[in-house]
Amino acid sequence: MKLGVLISGRGSNLQALIDATADPAFPAEIAVVISNIADVQGLERAAKAGIPTAVVDHKAHDGRPAFETALTATLEGHGVRLVCLAGFMRLLTKGFVDHWRDRIINIHPSLLPAFKGLNTHERVLHYGVKFTGCTVHYVRAEMDDGPIIVQGAVPVLPGDTADSLGARVLGVEHRIYPLAVRLVAEGRARVIGNAVNVDQPPGDGDGTANIVVINPAG
């Protein structure tokens, strides 16, 4: 399955996908990495791995629809079948999301539907939550909404800061994003209503599973 990865910055989750897709047995490959900002580290990561890159500058287009038309043209020009948002800091319109419905996924640093939006780790600490984590989900028009594919959980430890907690969560993000892409590429993550059923490999369990990665040691 050909992936198109959308970024706006350093691309740490992009690197996790680059590392995963370097394995010939992985069922997907990155066809293009697109940034809305030039000269970001993520583009350097992709170029170093020999992956085609493109810059589609949102400021160079007259409004979001025109920007997203250019995004879609670039993605489809590279034969992309699954769009992966990896630190892409632009809100997408319903038209774009509907065009790529069930073919676009995102990773968010909380256990959705809790703590949507920004500053998640600060809010987790403010409310005294004992476990937090990250979520890979199919994208819907509403922000940080959509059927959940994979979640990873970590404990909130005594003395945590937003930075220390964020680093712990990021380590799990790098594990679950490639897992989610694998499940989608293998046709095992099936959207049913507002949820995702994950088919297990033949002979493994009862045929469906909710995948949860726990990292208790941090």
| pLDDT 10s digits, 152-168 | 999 999 999 999 999 99
Q: Using only C-alpha atoms, what is the Rg of the chain?
A: 17
pLDDT at 128: 97
Using an 8 Å Cβ cutoff, are 58 and 76 in contact? no
| Burial environment of residue 24 by CB neighbours within 10 A (0 to 12, 13 to 18, 19 or more) | exposed
Residue ranges, comma separated, of all CATH 3.40.50.170 domains in the chain are 1-100, 107-218
pLDDT tens digits along 194-204 = 999 998 765 44
- Reading the block at residue 58, the tokens are 């949102």
Q: Across the strands, what pairs with 125?
A: none
What pTM was estimated for this model as a whole?
0.92
Q: Using an 8 Å Cβ cutoff, are 143 and 118 in contact?
A: no
Q: d(Cα 119, Cα 109) in Å, to the nearest integer?
A: 9
Q: What is the pLDDT of residue 200?
A: 78
pLDDT at 165: 97
Q: What's the confidence (pLDDT) of residue 213?
A: 52
Residues of the chain with pLDDT under 70: 201-218
In the block, tokens 């020999």 appear at 50
**From the candidates 108, 121, 137, 174, which is the catalytic residue?**
108
User: What residues have CB less than 8 Å from 191, skipping those under 6 apart?
Assistant: 102, 138, 147
CATH architecture of 1-100: 3-Layer(aba) Sandwich (3.40)
Q: Is 99 a catalytic residue?
A: no
Contacts of 179 (CB under 8 A, 6+ apart): 136, 150, 211, 213
% residues pLDDT > 90 (the chain): 91
Written as six digits, the tokens of 2 are 């050909």
3-state DSSP helix/strand/coil % of the chain, to nearest 5: 35, 25, 40
- Enter the CATH code of domain 107-218: 3.40.50.170
